[in-house]
Amino acid sequence: MSFDFIRHDVKEQKTKSRYRQLVCNRTASQGKEIIVNGKSYLNFSSNDYLGLNNHVEINKALQEGADKFGVCSSSSSLVTGYHYAHQALEDDVCQWLNKPKCLLFSSGFAANLALFQALGKSEESHFYLDKLSHASMIDGAYHSKAKVKRFNHNNIDHLTKLLNSSGENATDSPNKLIASEGVFSMDGCQAKVLELAHLATSQQAWLYLDDAHSIGVVGNEGQGSNYFADIDITMATLGKAIGTSGAFLTCNEDLHEYLVNFSRHYIYSTAISPAIAWATRKSIELIQKEHWRREKISELSALFSEQLSQEVELVATQSSIHAIIIGDEKKALSISDNLKKQGIWLTAIRPPTVAINSSRLRVTICANHNTKDIKYLAECINKATA
Ligand SMILES: Cc1ncc(COP(=O)(O)O)c(C=O)c1O
């Protein structure tokens, strides 16, 4: 058979308990439940952190955007795909994050590829990535021409050592980029944003933060890592706390101009839906003013760790993401299946998404959960892991 590796690799996934399959579902109870094969489950695997998906005002804005500008941009941005809705959204983001420029992408994955490939134009560029950076950052960095180094997770000393190491003329290079996630997707912990920003300034490097899991959730108005320090370049997906789809990147005027001229992911891709851009403006407005959503996540998160038994290995975080480290892939799957029987949907995260022997249950606590949901979750996890 042609492409023999296809069957072989899939079979191997199954034997390693790493097999993945799509599960068709629909959301219910204002997004906190999902229905799979007619059965309803409390959903603790969603990235709808603020509970904004399906919000009536955002849906209304989506309809209004569709009526005014159409669902489809009908072209790439540089041809005729850049509409008033896109420009208005970019302006809103610039104001919100206090940044000079913003550029929209069809996804966070595309934005990360675009940024690393644009800045990694030649071997004169040096990238320093946190070891737990998202797959799209890693792919973007390694598919570029830059020299790439990875620093130990959240380890500023190690990063400093790498930046100071004289090999490959790195210290003399004017093109240094430090890159990290703002809140890490698989364990929920926060990057040391202030320390990273100071180090970047002292090393004349730029700091790039992927705020996929910080935007909306972190900061007094949900502005993510820029709440703590002035970040040179920030990327945030619209498909998590913001509750729409696509991504934005904020940066200075020069980089904006460069990306518009040279980023293949930007130039050769249809602009995001103008209706979605319009709906996203409404979502950002709600995020800025509805502080109770962030407060609820904090309260419920504190309750969760209080209710869990001492034996459960929980990564302590201030975010919506709470990882329970199980270790073995089979065990993580079996606990996840057990929880399903109790009406809880909690996906087991396994390698290669996380390191071998660190399979985990990734609990996401959202603003639309309540104390009863959290107590029930903790009770079921305590039983299932005992
Ligand atoms: C840290 C991080 N960066 C980037 C992405 C990609 O974003 P998107 O889903 O918009 O492609 C994700 C999400 O899946 C993510 O978790």
- Ligand 1: residues whose CB is within 6 Å? 107-109, 112, 134, 136, 181, 185, 210, 212, 237, 239, 247
Per-residue DSSP letters for 222-269? S-GGGGTS--SEEEEESSSTT-SS-EEEEE-HHHHHHHHHH-HHHHTS
The question of whether 261 is a catalytic residue gets the answer no
Strands 344-345 and 39-43: parallel
- pLDDT attached to residue 54: 93
**153: burial class by Cβ within 10 Å (0-12, 13-18, 19+)?**
middle
CA 30 to chain centre: 22
The question of whether 39 is a catalytic residue gets the answer no
- pLDDT attached to residue 168: 53
Phi-psi label, residue 246: left if phi above 0, alpha if psi -120 to 50, beta otherwise:
left
- Segments making up each domain of the chain, as ranges: 16-50+291-385, 56-289
- pLDDT attached to residue 318: 86
- pLDDT attached to residue 167: 61
DSSP designation for 77: I
The upper half-sphere exposure of residue 207, i.e. CA atoms within 13 Å in the direction of its Cβ, equals: 25
Residues in CB range of 59: below 8 A, 6 or more apart: 279
- pLDDT attached to residue 1: 81
Tell how far the Cα of 237 is from the centroid of ligand 1, in angstroms: 6
Q: Mean pLDDT in runs of 10 for the chain (386 residues)?
A: 92 90 85 93 97 96 98 97 98 98 98 98 96 97 97 98 76 89 96 98 97 98 98 98 98 98 97 98 98 98 96 91 95 96 95 92 97 98 94
DSSP designation for 314: B
Tell how far the Cα of 46 is from the centroid of ligand 1, in angstroms: 13
Q: For ligand 1, atom 8, which residue shows the shortest CA distance?
A: 108
Number of continuous H segments (helices) and E segments (strands) in the chain: 13, 14
Active-site residue (options: 185, 263, 301, 368): 185
* Residue pair 51/32 in contact by the 8 Å Cβ criterion: yes
Tokens of 352: 């290669």
The question of whether 252 is a catalytic residue gets the answer no
Class of domain 56-289: alpha beta
Q: Please give the CATH number for the structural domain made up of 16-50+291-385.
A: 3.90.1150.10
Could you list the beta-strand ranges (E) of 67-204: 101-105, 125-130, 147-151, 175-181
Q: For ligand 1, atom 16, which residue shows the shortest CA distance?
A: 185
Tell how far the Cα of 108 is from the centroid of ligand 1, in angstroms: 5
